[in-house]
């Protein structure tokens, strides 16, 4: 290694100058140009060089072709005319801001993170039954998602991920993985389940089954402002439930 040079922990090449910071030290300016395309600003400062290198390798072809991507006349996701200014640049495509906003909401992230991805990662989000409001079977029949939630509810869970937060919210829709046979049988199954619940609880817009009520603490700001706080555990059997106090 020559005097005054350093070895980039990302690409392994020698470089001069102060470089750009990451968890393992400093990496070269050539890698920095690529990093700016696939990382949200300052995200890489807290990542090891191995993770930076892995993401650069993952998107290597998109990075190489970045400058050759042309802006289309229509959004490749929704098909609407692409606005001159209100659009989002992805690594390998352009999409309208409406679709970018929806994608950010589905991924529970910001617009800048959407811009660091390829359209092949964004497009599947818009094919989910929860987003389209339902699913179409092979014969072209549309099945409304809301009417089937009583037997196929949208599942919200937490996925463990590396980082400071340690987890991220994820949604799984069982309608997306149903066979055509199960999808076609779902309306009758939903009606039977709805009839069972109405026979047991009566006719309601929503039903919440309570398993456990735990008193958490009391708070008193004078006798007239006394209140108690409780944790209610259970499950939604039908409809949408919002608990208010």
What pLDDT score was predicted for residue 220?
54
CB count in 10 Å sphere of residue 131: 15
Gap between the Cα atoms of 36 and 43, Å rounded: 10
pLDDT in tens, 219-233: 555 555 555 677 777
What DSSP element (H or E) covers 177?
none
> Which sign, positive or negative, has the C-alpha torsion 56, 62, 64, 66?
negative
Q: How many other CB atoms are there within 10 angstroms of residue 113's CB atom?
A: 15
> Stretch 89-107: mean pLDDT, rounded?
90
Going by C-alpha positions, the residue among 71, 115, 123 that lies closest to residue 94 is 71
Q: Are strands 142-144 and 5-7 parallel, antiparallel or unpaired?
A: unpaired
Percent of all residues in the chain with a pLDDT value above 90, rounded to a whole number: 33
Q: What is the pLDDT of residues 39-81, one digit of tens each?
A: 988 777 788 888 899 999 999 999 999 999 999 999 999 889 9
**Residue among 115, 80, 112 at smallest CA distance from 98:** 80
Q: Residues 6 or more apart from 134 whose CB is under 8 A from it?
A: 142, 143, 144, 145, 146, 148, 175
Domain range annotation of the chain: 1-58, 68-127, 131-203, 204-238
What's the confidence (pLDDT) of residue 1? 47
In terms of DSSP bridges, do strands 155-160 and 142-144 run parallel, antiparallel, or are they unpaired? unpaired
On whether the CB atoms of residues 23 and 49 are closer than 8 A, the answer is yes
**pLDDT tens, position by position, 154-210:** 787 777 766 555 666 677 888 889 999 999 999 999 999 989 988 888 887 777 778
In the predicted structure, residue 130 carries a pLDDT above the cut 80:
no
Question: Mean pLDDT over residues 21-48, rounded?
Answer: 87
Instruction: Provide the β-strand partners of residue 81.
Output: 74
Indicate whether this model's pTM tops 0.95.
no
What was the pLDDT predicted at 64?
94
- Would the pLDDT of 218 be above 90? no
């Amino acid at each position: 290694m020559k005097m005054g040079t350093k070895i980039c922990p990302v690409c392994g090449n020698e470089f001069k100058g102060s470089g750009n910071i990451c968890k393992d030290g400093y990496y070269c300016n050539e890698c920095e140009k690529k990093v700016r395309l696939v990382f949200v600003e300052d995200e890489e400062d807290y990542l090891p060089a191995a993770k930076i290198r892995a993401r650069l390798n993952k998107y290597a072809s998109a990075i190489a072709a970045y400058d050759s991507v042309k802006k289309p006349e229509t959004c490749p996701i929704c098909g609407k005319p692409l606005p001159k200014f209100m659009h989002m640049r992805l690594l390998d495509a352009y999409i309208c801001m409406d679709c970018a906003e929806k994608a950010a909401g589905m991924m529970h992230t910001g617009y800048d993170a959407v811009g660091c991805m390829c359209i092949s990662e964004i497009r599947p989000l818009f094919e989910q039954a929860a987003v389209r409001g339902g699913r179409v079977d092979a014969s072209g029949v549309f099945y409304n998602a809301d009417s089937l939630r009583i037997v196929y509810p949208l599942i919200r869970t937490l996925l463990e991920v590396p980082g400071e937060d340690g987890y991220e919210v994820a949604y799984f829709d069982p309608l997306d993985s149903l066979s055509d046979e199960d999808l076609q049988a779902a309306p009758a199954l939903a009606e039977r389940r709805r009839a069972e619940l109405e026979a047991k609880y009566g006719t309601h817009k929503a039903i919440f089954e309570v398993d456990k009520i735990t008193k958490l603490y009391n708070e008193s700001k004078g006798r007239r402002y006394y209140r108690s706080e409780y944790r209610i555990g259970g499950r939604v059997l039908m409809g949408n439930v919002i608990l208010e106090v």
